[in-house]
């Protein structure tokens, strides 16, 4: 198998998404007020996710009933908050929230390989996997301890980053393992961007959450409910 492009960069004997920054101990993005419920007053209308403006809302499919929203602190910040919403009738209800990290350089609307920024956008979530056996994922789960272990050095501090991962459908084929090499838009547009276990600081492009959050997402996200991730800095998300 060719060396995989993971978290937007080519990993070849290097630490996956890690850097040497300090650990974050905050409960969430500073100053971010996340509503518990957000809905539309018009029966049958598609409700808008909290903090998501009209531009990004148009990218969320009408049949989506689960959304993972990554609220980035700032365009150039690697800190964010991940919130799980589930749509009940005509409203989005918050069902989980976790402190998170994104690309160490922040966010971009034009992601490229090695820019160390996470792509802003709305992307489907169709495939999961990890170096540990399936913990009860509702998404198709691709277990391969060798494939994921090869992405970090033996004994590296990031060796557990990929215990559990959920592929973000940015520049990838759906219905294949997260570590699949194919890049439909070309290698220069990056790829291998995942939700995975947090290591306390910024990434190359992935979004990371604590292990408890990953297990909750894996056990909750249901392909029949067409889950998506909506991600970006707050200014882009609210536009």
How many other CB atoms are there within 10 angstroms of residue 5's CB atom?
25
> Are residues 221 and 101 in contact, defined by beta-carbon separation less than 8 angstroms?
no
Residue 162 belongs to some domain of the structure: yes
How many whole angstroms separate alpha carbon 25 and alpha carbon 99? 8
Please report which confidence band the pLDDT of residue 148 belongs to, taking 50, 70 and 90 as the band edges: confident
Q: Kindly state whether residue 180 falls inside one of the protein's structural domains.
A: yes
- Predicted pLDDT at 194: 98
Residue 143 has a pLDDT of: 96
Find the CATH number of the domain harbouring 230.
2.40.440.10
The gap between the terminal CA atoms of the chain, to the nearest Å, is 41
Q: pTM for the whole thing? A: 0.85
Report if residue 11 sits inside a domain. Answer: no
pLDDT at 156: 66
Mean pLDDT of the 69-91 span:
96
Token pair recorded at residue 162 = 């990929």
**Total number of domains in the chain:** 1
Q: What is the mean pLDDT of residues 148-162?
A: 74
Domain extent, residue 130, equals 62-238
Of 29-33, 85-89, 118-122, 222-226, the one with minimum mean pLDDT is: 29-33
Q: What is the pLDDT of residues 174-198, one digit of tens each?
A: 999 999 999 999 999 999 999 999 9
Is residue 90, in this structure, part of any structural domain at all? yes
């Amino acid at each position: 198998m060719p060396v995989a492009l993971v978290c937007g960069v080519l990993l070849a004997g290097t630490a996956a998404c890690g850097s040497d920054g300090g650990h974050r101990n905050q409960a969430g993005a500073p100053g971010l007020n996340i509503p518990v419920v957000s809905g539309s007053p018009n029966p049958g209308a598609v409700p808008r996710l909290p903090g998501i403006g009209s531009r990004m809302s148009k990218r969320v499919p009408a049949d989506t009933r689960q959304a993972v929203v990554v609220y980035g602190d700032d365009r150039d910040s690697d800190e964010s908050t991940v919130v799980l919403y589930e749509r009940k009738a005509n409203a989005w209800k918050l069902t989980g929230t976790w402190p998170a990290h994104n690309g160490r350089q922040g966010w971009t609307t034009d992601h490229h390989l090695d820019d160390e920024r996470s792509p802003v956008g709305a992307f489907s979530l169709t495939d999961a996997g990890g170096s540990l056996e399936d913990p009860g994922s509702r998404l198709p789960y691709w277990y391969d301890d060798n494939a994921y272990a090869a992405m970090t050095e033996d004994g590296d501090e990031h060796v557990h980053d990929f215990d559990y991962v959920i592929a973000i459908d940015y520049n990838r084929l759906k219905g294949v393992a997260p570590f699949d090499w194919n890049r439909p838009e070309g290698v220069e547009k990056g790829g291998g961007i995942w939700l995975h276990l947090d290591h306390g600081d910024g990434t190359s492009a992935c979004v990371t959450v604590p292990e408890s959050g990953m297990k909750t997402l894996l056990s909750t996200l249901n392909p029949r409910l067409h889950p998506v991730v909506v991600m970006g800095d707050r200014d882009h998300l609210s536009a």
